[in-house]
Amino acid sequence: MTTSSIPGYRLGDTTLPKSPLTKDDLATLKTTLLFGDADVAALRQAHGVVEDQVEAILDVWYGFVGSTPHLLAYFSDAKTHQPLDAYLDAVRKRFGQWILDTCRADYDEAWLAWQDEIGRRHHRSGKNRTDGVSAAPHIPMRYVLALAVPISVTMKPFLAKKGHASAEVEAMHAAWSKAVLLQAILWSRPYAREGDF
């Protein structure tokens, strides 16, 4: 699937609002979570490992969300509480692309703007708009951040599936985990009080 055929996918869309974070802000944030060049290289390696496993990874994540009522609620109609299949499917296409994007991110202004937009889509300021759905109107910040854990730990078996040495798998997994938390933190930006982020 080409990215242009994924509805609502906007990495590289120059009409997105700019992130309030500068490249220097991103650099100090990366330093704080020990995210360095070796992690970028390990993620590039991970791209080749996971690119043909995206659907299997999404099956695990959707299995977790689907079996966790307080999370499934955010994909369910706010009134009837029935899961919205078309919404789940639309998010799934972008989520699959996000796995690949996380492995080869450029960390440039376009990437920062896209992270800010992803944050808004979890927050009440932008949730449901992209897909025109009537789901729960806001995902609390604490869950956006906490989901970094399942999105990280479940990745390890997939990274280990192509016969890489244990140390390489560890390096890819550590880089993945930091990259996920980095993004979850960027997604929490619209939740923070003015000047607090």
Q: Is 123 in the site for a copy of itself (CB under 8 A)?
A: yes
Strand partners, 76: 83
- Smallest separation (angstroms) from a copy of itself to the CB of 157: 14
Identify which of residues 12 and 83 has a Cβ nearer to a copy of itself in the complex: 83
10/19 Cα distance (integer angstroms): 14
Q: Is 37 in the site for a copy of itself (CB under 8 A)?
A: no
HSE toward the beta carbon, residue 167, CA cutoff 13 A: 1
- Smallest separation (angstroms) from a copy of itself to the CB of 44: 20
Instruction: Return the closest-CA partner of residue 185 out of 32, 75, 12, 10.
Output: 32
- Count of residues engaged in binding a copy of itself, rule: CB under 8 A: 39
Site stretch for a copy of itself (CB under 8 A), options 79-87, 90-98, 110-118, 173-181: 173-181
Q: Is 107 in the site for a copy of itself (CB under 8 A)?
A: no
Contact 75, 165 (CB under 8 A): no
Q: Is 193 in the site for a copy of itself (CB under 8 A)?
A: yes
Identify which of residues 1 and 192 has a Cβ nearer to a copy of itself in the complex: 192
Among 141, 160, 161, 164, binds a copy of itself (CB under 8 A): 141
Q: Is 149 in the site for a copy of itself (CB under 8 A)?
A: yes
- Smallest separation (angstroms) from a copy of itself to the CB of 3: 27
196/120 Cα distance (integer angstroms): 16
Q: Is 60 in the site for a copy of itself (CB under 8 A)?
A: no
- Smallest separation (angstroms) from a copy of itself to the CB of 193: 6
Contact 74, 135 (CB under 8 A): yes
Strand partners, 135: 77
143/179 Cα distance (integer angstroms): 17
23/45 Cα distance (integer angstroms): 24
The SS3 of residue 115 is helix
Contact 120, 38 (CB under 8 A): no
Site for a copy of itself, rule CB under 8 A? 28-29, 31-35, 68, 70-71, 123-124, 138, 140-143, 145-150, 153, 174, 178, 181-182, 184-186, 188-189, 191-193, 195-197
